[in-house]
Chain A
């Protein structure tokens, strides 16, 4: 298992080599910088002052919009920690949180595949394929967070794992990209009933 995790980490570092080894600001553009990071900064400031986020600048209904990932624990945590940091440091933490979701997804799929009886090679294939779909390469943190949970939700549902399915489902919905997450729920139910 340790060898497999090391290989998955190497794959992850190669996949995001530009971010890790060349330029930590390579993703500092477009929606990620303009909306994701900016709203995360506001969330972090609010949490630091011990209050719920209330936006008078751009989103009149900030907390009602799922795609701002307000209640998603890893996002809220990085926003809170980032509020103590400089803008550049906070950005690096924000983008690291995004990128780390790919590694977390690949490791969780590998462990699930092994627990389902797959041999290490098919489990490794499942891990890198399901966690690194082309569609997941998005410039929006809520999409990356959500898609990182979908393979685990589907695999756990097909294994009838009640508690872990529920937790993954909850976190996937909190991550906030509902155009994908809402369809994962009936699909997970279907897989549960089929297996």
Chain B
């Protein structure tokens, strides 16, 4: 028991730089205090998808999450080995995590909601781990002459099927060399004109602005700070992730944008005064912009 405590202490000590900062930040993020309904807003998997992914995995989106969030595939050679597995711990874990991955489709996630993070589909990883452990037990009980055959089948199925899951075609962008992706007429124009101001709505893959040193509206995904959600008027419990102020997720407020220092907006929506057209299509310049406040000053 003392050795376990020592191992945990060592692990937590090594992770302390991240743990310390994350735990200080967590109460101030929208992740804190989520209700069961908010945790189950996305990714409640049908049993049929979990079972299908064991034999014929698909990356097709399901209940609002990417297909890979529902992935239980452990290789085709592992499946017959499950018939020989008897370990009660891993069978229990496989069944329990399957029920949790189903989210709203069973009562179990809701009943134990305080123990879970968001998105039930993520339990499909633990379904996979449990089944893989069981398959390992079953493999060890196979007759010795069958083991090379099953191992070959397992390796072949993994080599043939896994590359079809990453990249998750066709639900993903075309590949691009970073030197081209991050050097476009838009980035060149903004590099010359943006200065200390912010830009709204940078398109993929420029959205974070980090490679081109362009200040954006800021992150408003699932771990965004409460102040950011309030400022962006973002009521989505998982964060809207909107990069374009004018794309519907946030309200239009000219004074607020001017105060926030948004000098440029790249948007498909035609903008009117105080926004002026630029020589680049869909890029507008704010005629009434003010110097942007620093983020630390907005935290209060």
**Which one of A39, A132, A150 contacts B129 once the chains associate, using CB atoms below 8 Å?**
A150
Contacting pair B12 A38 (CB below 8 A): no
Q: Which of B104-112, B167-175, B247-255, B265-273 contacts A (4 or more CB under 8 A)?
A: B167-175
Q: Chain B interface mostly helix, strand, loop or mixed?
A: helix
**Which one of B19, B24, B151, B161 contacts A121 once the chains associate, using CB atoms below 8 Å?**
B151
Chain B CB within 8 A of A101 CB: no
Query: Given the complex, which residues of B lie within 8 Å of A38, measured CB to CB?
Result: 205, 208, 210-211
Query: Given the complex, which residues of A lie within 8 Å of B151, measured CB to CB?
Result: 121, 124-125
Query: Given the complex, which residues of B lie within 8 Å of A157, measured CB to CB?
Result: 4, 7
Query: Given the complex, which residues of A lie within 8 Å of B299, measured CB to CB?
Result: 60
Tell me, rounded to whole Å, the shortest Cβ–Cβ distance linking A128 to chain B. 6
Query: Given the complex, which residues of B lie within 8 Å of A27, measured CB to CB?
Result: 166-167, 175
Contact A129 B14, CB 8 Å, known A28-B178, A30-B167, A134-B162? no
Which A residue's beta carbon lies closest to that of B298?
Answer: A60
Tell me, rounded to whole Å, the shortest Cβ–Cβ distance linking A73 to chain B. 10
- Which residues of B (156-189) have their CB < 8 Å from a CB of A? 158-159, 161-163, 165-168, 172-179, 181-182
Using C-beta atoms within 8 Å of the partner chain, give the interface range for chain A.
35 or more
- Which residues of B (2-55) have their CB < 8 Å from a CB of A? 3-4, 6-15, 17-19, 21-22, 24-25, 53
Using C-beta atoms within 8 Å of the partner chain, give the interface range for chain B.
35 or more
**Which one of B14, B133, B176 contacts A29 once the chains associate, using CB atoms below 8 Å?**
B176
Chain A CB within 8 A of B242 CB: no
Contact A174 B14, CB 8 Å, known A125-B139, A183-B126, A189-B4? yes
Chain A CB within 8 A of B200 CB: no
Which B residue's beta carbon lies closest to that of A161?
Answer: B7
Chain A CB within 8 A of B78 CB: yes
Tell me, rounded to whole Å, the shortest Cβ–Cβ distance linking B264 to chain A. 14
Contacting pair A15 B204 (CB below 8 A): no
- Which residues of A (147-181) have their CB < 8 Å from a CB of B? 147, 150-151, 154, 157, 160-163, 165-174, 176, 178-180
Query: Apart from A30-B168, A192-B7, what 18 extra A-B contacts exist at CB < 8 Å?
Result: A14-B159, A28-B175, A29-B167, A29-B172, A29-B175, A60-B219, A64-B25, A87-B182, A118-B140, A130-B129, A133-B129, A134-B74, A139-B68, A139-B166, A154-B129, A165-B10, A173-B18, A189-B8
- Report which A residues bind B (CB closer than 8 A): 11, 14-18, 23, 25-30, 33-35, 37-39, 41-42, 55-61, 63-67, 70-71, 86-88, 90-91, 118-119, 121-122, 124-126, 128-130, 132-135, 137-139, 147, 150-151, 154, 157, 160-163, 165-174, 176, 178-180, 182-183, 185, 187, 189-190, 192-194
21 contacts between A and B (CB under 8 A): A16-B163, A29-B205, A30-B167, A34-B204, A34-B207, A39-B210, A41-B210, A63-B21, A64-B24, A67-B223, A87-B182, A87-B211, A133-B71, A134-B71, A135-B68, A135-B73, A157-B7, A160-B3, A165-B11, A166-B10, A173-B12
User: Closest 3 A-B residue pairs measured CB to CB?
Assistant: A170-B14, A166-B10, A169-B11
